[in-house]
Structure 1
Amino acid sequence: MAATTVTKYSRAIRILHWVLALLLIGLLIAGTIMHNTADEATKFAILKLHAPLGLLAGILLFARTYFAFTQPRPAADPNWSLAVKWGSKIIHILLYVFPHALVGSGIATMVASGLGEILQSGQTAPWPELSGIAFAGAHGLFAKLFLASLVLHIAGAIYHQAIIKDNLIARMMPGK
């Protein structure tokens, strides 16, 4: 019996892709606002959402990673150039690595800075000094690197849809 050609990602992968896309973009926005405000009450209010949503993103990322290795996926188009194939592979690897690194460095920052204890106690001040916490610096760096890889991913999707016109995005769209 011949193997069936997979033309779309599995339903689980597609759902997790779009849920994580919205969640991670929201976390990037919230983190940027939190980082750029001086008002401690605002920082803590955002952190009360950012931290648990970051943990949720971590759980969903592990599920997404599991499905990526256990579910069949569409093959690369044989007409793609070697540069497009490698670029796609590298960006997709980074889109797994950087979010996992963000979750890990976020948890480490919460522990090392005392922010986790502060949140659990219900306090809203004082905001700890994070400049001496290596994990906080790493978290900021991973956020920037993730954002850059996300922009390249979106640019690649637009390139495939508008320039190559291969309807690549249909592989990740909802539906049957």
Structure 2
Amino acid sequence: MTRYHPTLVALHWILAIMIIVALVMGGQVLAALPNDSPDKMFSLRAHMSIGLIIGILMVARLVTRVKTQHPPKADTGNALLNMGGQVAHWALYAFVLLMVASGIGISVTAGLPGIVFGGSGAPLPETFNDLAPRAAHGIISKLLALTILAHIAGWLYHQFVLKDGLISRMWFGNRT
């Protein structure tokens, strides 16, 4: 078997785009908007919705990963790099799920579901910075971004140094 299951491939690329959008939106857009800005509510609603969808799709991806056959583990010829690749892949799952959990923690702690989705008319809190889940969300976002960069670096290494065509495993086509 040379390729991953098509569902896993589709979820990989959909999630890659969604996660990068959510990281940029959270770190650049939401962080720059004061909580009393009219644009904050729209941006928060989008960020929270995307985050929940990411969580659901990530669980679906994890279940698909566990239940389907997949190609043998990538081999760089270096045991340490091989182990690093495996750790990075599982760290991606862990960090994404922790981001979703900490985001839900912020939402619940700050009463955001009623404010953002329920139309309660209540204003947003002055700041989220004093909430423990917010601190965790910020730290995890940086760890996730670094892990994504390591993942991309691994692809670049396989593509341009090893020239083993590893990326074809995570694309559509015949799985044999």
TM over 0.5: yes
Partner residue, 1:113: 110
Asked if the contact 2:103–2:133 (Cα under 8 Å) also holds between the matched residues in 1, the reply is: yes
Partner residue, 2:83: 86
Q: Deviations over 1:29-54 (max 9, x none)?
A: 11111012236222211111111111
Partner residue, 1:41: 38
Partner residue, 1:3: none
Q: C-alpha displacement at 1:81, in angstroms?
A: 1.0
Aligned equivalents of 1:99, 1:24: Cα separation in 2: 8
In structure 1, the gaps of 5 or more residues are 1-5
Asked if the contact 1:157–1:168 (Cα under 8 Å) also holds between the matched residues in 2, the reply is: yes
Asked if the contact 2:3–2:173 (Cα under 8 Å) also holds between the matched residues in 1, the reply is: no
1:68 aligns with 2:65: yes
Q: Which has the higher contact order (CA 8 A, sep 6+)?
A: 2
- Of 6, 10, 31, the residue aligned with 2:5 is 10
- Of 136, 153, 167, the residue aligned with 2:134 is 136
Q: C-alpha displacement at 1:117, in angstroms?
A: 1.8
In structure 2, the gaps of 5 or more residues are none
- Of 55, 59, 64, the residue aligned with 1:58 is 55
Aligned equivalents of 2:162, 2:41: Cα separation in 1: 46
DSSP 3-state at the match of 1:17: helix
The amino acid that maps onto 1:75 is: P
Asked if the contact 2:99–2:137 (Cα under 8 Å) also holds between the matched residues in 1, the reply is: yes
Q: Which of 140-149 and 74-83 deviates more? A: 74-83
Q: C-alpha displacement at 1:12, in angstroms?
A: 0.7
Q: Which of 29-38 and 122-131 deviates more? A: 122-131
What is the count of residue pairs matched by the alignment?
171
Q: C-alpha displacement at 1:173, in angstroms?
A: 1.4
Q: C-alpha displacement at 1:67, in angstroms?
A: 0.9
Q: Deviations over 1:107-147 (max 9, x none)?
A: 11001012222112264834442121100111111111100
- The percentage of counterpart residues that share the same residue type is 32
1:173 aligns with 2:168: no
- Of 11, 20, 23, the residue aligned with 2:18 is 23
RMSD of aligned residue pairs (Cα, Å): 1.6
1:100 aligns with 2:108: no
Partner residue, 1:156: 154
